[in-house]
Amino acid sequence: MKRRELLARVAAETRRQGKRWELLRQGSNHEIWRCGSIDVAVPRHPEINEWTAIGIYRSLEGELGKDWWRG
């Protein structure tokens, strides 16, 4: 999965639910993003492994709801 696709998908869902998706800081290998009270590390690679993407999606379930990315 392309990194920009992952970020766009999360951003679209947070907008739909009226929540904030904001970049906190950038590192050399990862960026730290915040959705509500949950911080998520997103790799800066152009391609993100499918399992890594699912892990990122699951880590956001506390804010966006269970299995939000499957709908």
Using one digit for the tens of pLDDT, what is the confidence trace for 5-57?
Answer: 999 999 999 999 999 999 999 999 999 999 999 999 999 999 999 999 999 99
Q: Note the pTM of the prediction, 2 decimals.
A: 0.92
Residue 32 confidence (pLDDT):
98
Residue 71 confidence (pLDDT):
74
Domain boundaries, the chain: 3-65
Cα separation, 45 vs 17, in Å, equals: 27
Cα separation, 9 vs 36, in Å, equals: 16
Structure tokens at 33: 């993003």
Cα distances (Å, whole numbers) of residue 59 to 14, 17, 68: 14, 17, 11
Structure tokens at 39: 């911080």
Q: How confident is the model at residue 60 (pLDDT cuts 50, 70, 90)?
A: very high
Q: What are phi and psi of 21, to 5 degrees?
A: -130, 105
